[in-house]
Every structure is written in C-alpha cells, then in structure tokens.
Amino acid sequence: MDADSGDSESFWVAFHDCLYVVPHCGYVLKCTRKIKVLPTASVLDMLAARTEQIPKDRIQLSVDLLPRNYYNIQADLPEPLPPPLDPKTLQPVNPALLERLFARELVRQEVSSERMIKIPEEVLEAYRMIGRPTPLVRARRLERFLKTPAQIYFKAEYLSPTGSHKPNTALAQAYYNKQEGTQRIVTESGAGQWGSALAMSSAIFGLKCRVYMVRVSYDQKPGRRTMMETYGAEVKASPSKETKYGQSLLAENPDHPGTLGVAISEALEDTVTHDDTRYCLGSVLNHVLAHQSIIGLEAQKQLESIDVEPDMFIGCIGGGSNFAGFAYPFLGEKLKGKSDAEFVACEPKAVPSTTRGTYTYDFGDSAEMTPLLKMHTVGHKFISPPIHSGGLRYHGKAPSLCYLIDKGYVRSVAYHQNEVFRAAQLFAQTEGLIPAPETAHCIKFVIDEAIRCRENNEEKVLAFNNCGHGLLDLKAYEDFLAGRLIDYEPPEIEIVSYVK
C-alpha cells in the first residue's frame, strides 16, 4: 500500500489495533511470545483478525439510546407506600402544602403512580452534555486477582463532572424550578457530592444556590466546598449562624459536628423564610429516586447487548438514591415475577438505619419541620459519628427502599469503615480507580461475595453502582493509610414512636 494513498491512515490505524490490545476494547489479536518479521500475507491476516470479537469489558451505549423516561417503582409495588403524615394530626399530608417547599412538578412526581415519567428535552440535553450515557464496565482485573469464577460489572457514575451520580436529579430539579420561576434554591449536603451537583446544575440553568454542608464534612473535604463555590454557590457549614435553629445548636455546643438532619432543618428554615426560594433534596424522596433510575435503565440496555443477567445487584445506601437509581428498574422485574435476582444494600455500622434501626414513622430532619415518614431510622436526634462516608450519615432511608427491605425484596448489610477502606484500596490497586468512601461499602460486599463464589465454585454475575470517585476524599485515605480511622458503632439506639 502506498504510504501517500488515501487509505494509508485507516491502514495504519487498523495495523496498530492488531498489534496492541487496548484495555477494555472489544477486539483482540491472539499473539505468540516469539517476535518475528511478518510477511504481507500475515498483515492481511491481522487486519482480518479485527473481526474476532470477545466479550467487551467496557460497554458503551449510544447517545441515541439515552432513556427518554424515568422509571417510577411506585407503579409496581404490591400496595401504596405508607403516606407522609402531618405530625400534629397524624393524618396524611395534603401534597398541595408541599408546593411551598418544592417545585409543583416535583410534588406531582412525588405522589405519582404512573410507571414512566417523561424526561424534558432540556434535561436530556444537559445529560448528554455531562456525558450520559455512562459506561458499564467489567472489573476483570479484580476478578483475576480474587481468582473468582464470578463476573463483576459496575456502572461508571463517577465519570460525571462532579464525580458522582448526583447530577441525574440535580439537573432535573434545577430545570423544573427554573421553569416555574424560582430564583434561588437551597439544600443540604453531607459529603458534598449532592451540593456539588446542585451547584453545577444551578449554574447551568441560571439559579442562585445555597448549600448547608454538614460541618464535619465541611472541614474534612475543602475540595468539595471549593468546587461548589467555583460553580457560584454559597456554602455554609452546618450548624450555621444563618438560621435560628443553627444558632440555637451553636449556643449549646459551639463545636457541634453537624448532621444531615440538622442541615436539612437549616435548609428548610431558609426556604420558608424567603419567598423566591425553593428547597431541593438529594435523596430519600420518590421523585429523586425516579430521576436516578436513568442509571438502571441504561444498565438494562447495556446488559441486554452482551446477553448478561446479573444474579445480584449491590449498592451503598445513605438516603437510598444511588442504590435505587441502579437497582429499581431491575427490582421492578422482580416485583412482576420476571426475575429472581438478589438485591443488597450496604450501609455503615456507625449509622445502622436498616440493620439496627426501627421501621417506624420519624421526622426527616432534626428540628422536626418535615412530615413524618415511614422508614427505617436510628432516630432524628441521632448524632452521627464523624466517619468519612459523609453521604451515608443520614438517620433514615427512602420510604420506598425501607418498604422493600421490610417486605424482603432487598436485604441490607453493614460494615465498619476500616474494612471498607481496605476493600477500596484493593479496588484501586486492581482497577486503577479510587472510589468514594460511600461506594467502597458495596465494593466490600462484592469482594466478599466474589471470594464466596471462589470457595463454592459458583459462577455468579455481580453488578454494582460505582456512584462516585474518591479524588476529593484523599484525606480519608490518608487517615486510613496512617491507621487513624476509628470504627464507630452505637451501643444503644433509642427511638421515639410517633404512631401507635
């Protein structure tokens, strides 16, 4: 072939592809150890070898196949969820009253029983802008290290601009608020992943944003704070002096570490005292979990394309959005009797809402401003220990997830943070990715399960949501490597029952 011909570029690209195996590519050339000069006929053979396909380790989904609707699991539950209650009357809350807090469309979605909710074109455009669809990746190096017959797949949600799955609902919530004339949105954030996502989304849709960040994370994760401020958001350490509730807590304890419940209370107080403001929540509520379902809907298409059906779906749980976003589309199939897959939710032993808490009605915040929600809880006055998994320090969980755990559709497990970071380090050293401390909880389960598969010679397929990277959590890894992490576990948990 003439080096100056029009086909020279495609020839050398093809030739290069045949000589080198790029990680996660879909085609491979089998080579021997002996190196020799190849005749022209062998080069042609190599070009033909590009068609020898092996199972892909990185499954991409075309932008054209980006889901056009969210999945709402409420449509497939055996019965309606226990409704939010007015704490004064203990009667179901009128959804119209929530419109002072949330955008009207979000309130409508919260109580909707329709299975699929259309995604606005402007939100789809924003999803494409931030890199959706995300890849489904096979963790083949981890499999080899563990010498397991299990196959391990994960959804790469850490690839978003802010490093987590949180933009999936942040963009939707910012859009709906902008459409309804909201000028300013307020929220809370634990680890800062949600706050970062909402700050970015506010910038995209032209809204002002304030984030009340749990003080212990505010101090532990200055990078997250800087990211939010770079996007234009105000960031306040919670408890703060900006609200009456924050002031009261600081008066009692100037060194109060803060909790997600406290930060929620401050964000709600801020919202109801400013007419131009609406509140946004990063987890727990039905509309948030529905927005996150785009993760699982993409994963369904990706798994179908390689003819793989996972035996287990795993995710970490703080409020429940990351687990629900990945697992609910598949759980819907189980609810309809079309799947016998297992679903496992992983939480910290320091805040064991589902493994040691009580399934009862409780407030969603510390100041008792929210309606009562039926959920697994360790109590809204619970002071969370300063573990590095800031996104998992919430006292309760999503009502829909708690219902599914209570009915046996999902099981939950809990881990100490040192064992979680050991799993994260192994994942980093095999797969090259440093996971967020939250994500590391489900990685711990996946590694343990893969070892069980090796010991029992089981060929299971394990799938989990890699919901965030740990590049802004390196202080946590520094403390782990230095042996400074403390494993917390509450000796007793006292919970007030509001509904007899």
Q: Which of 446, 437, 445 is nearest to 139 (CA)?
A: 446
b vs e for 141-171, b when ≥16 Cβ sit within 10 Å of the residue's Cβ? bbbebbebebbbbbbbbbbbebbbbbbbbbb
> For position 165, what pLDDT does the model report?
97
Report the candidate in 143, 136, 190 with the shortest Cα–Cα distance to residue 348: 190
Cα–Cα dist 7/449, whole Å: 50
Supply the pLDDT for residue 496: 80
- pLDDT reported for residue 387: 81
Q: pLDDT of 314-333, one tens digit each?
A: 999 999 999 999 999 999 99
Tokens of 290: 């529905």
List of residues 6+ apart from 178 with CB closer than 8 A: 205, 206, 207
User: How far is Cα 399 from Cα 405, in angstroms, rounded to an integer?
Assistant: 10
Q: How far apart are CA 402 and CA 400, in angstroms?
A: 5
What pLDDT does 44 receive?
Answer: 55
Q: Residue 477, Cβ neighbours under 10 Å: how many? A: 20
Question: Positive or negative CA dihedral for 168, 461, 334, 378?
Answer: negative
Q: Using CA atoms, how far apart are residues 494 and 500, in angstroms rounded to an integer?
A: 16
Quote the pLDDT of residue 260.
Answer: 86
Separation CA 307–CA 316 (nearest Å): 26
**Is residue 367 within 8 Å of residue 245, measured between CB atoms?**
yes
* Distances in whole angstroms, Cα of residue 112 to Cα of each of 21, 202, 287, 303, 329: 49, 25, 9, 28, 16
Q: Say if residues 376 and 405 touch (Cβ distance below 8 Å).
A: yes
Q: Which CATH number fits domain 68-120+164-286: 1.10.10.10, 3.40.50.720, 3.40.50.1100, 3.90.1280.10?
A: 3.40.50.1100
Chain segment 181-205, per-residue pLDDT in tens: 999 999 999 889 999 999 999 999 9
Residue 498: its pLDDT value, please? Answer: 84
Question: What token pair was written down for 262?
Answer: 């406290």
- pLDDT, residue 313, reads 98
How deeply is 275 buried, as exposed, middle or buried, from its count of CB atoms within 10 A (0-12, 13-18, 19+)? exposed
What CA–CA distance (Å, rounded) separates 271 from 282? 15
The torsion defined by the Cα of 189, 194, 196 and 202, in degrees rounded to 10, comes to -100
Q: Are strands 342-348 and 312-316 parallel, antiparallel or unpaired?
A: parallel
Q: Which segments of the chain belong to CATH 3.40.50.1100?
A: 68-120+164-286, 136-162+302-481
Q: Give the per-residue pLDDT at 102.
A: 97
d(CA 442, CA 431): 15
What single string gives the DSSP state of each residue in 392-447?
G--SS--HHHHHHHHTTSSEEEEE-HHHHHHHHHHHHHHHS--B-HHHHHHHHHHH
Whether residue 103 contacts residue 173, with contact meaning beta carbons closer than 8 Å, is answered with yes
How far is the C-alpha of 238 from the C-alpha of 8, rounded, in Å?
Answer: 62
What's the rounded Cα separation, in Å, for the pair 267 and 317? 22
State which residues of the chain have pLDDT below 50. Answer: 1-41, 49-54
Nearest by Cα to 396 from 356, 445, 369, 367:
356
Compute the distance between CA of residue 251 and CA of residue 406 in angstroms, rounded to an integer. Answer: 39
What pLDDT is stored for residue 55 in this prediction? Answer: 53
Q: d(Cα 160, Cα 196) in Å, to the nearest integer?
A: 11
Task: Report the distance separating Cα 475 and Cα 434, nearest Å.
Answer: 13
For tokens 């016998």, the residue is 340
CATH node for 136-162+302-481: 3.40.50.1100
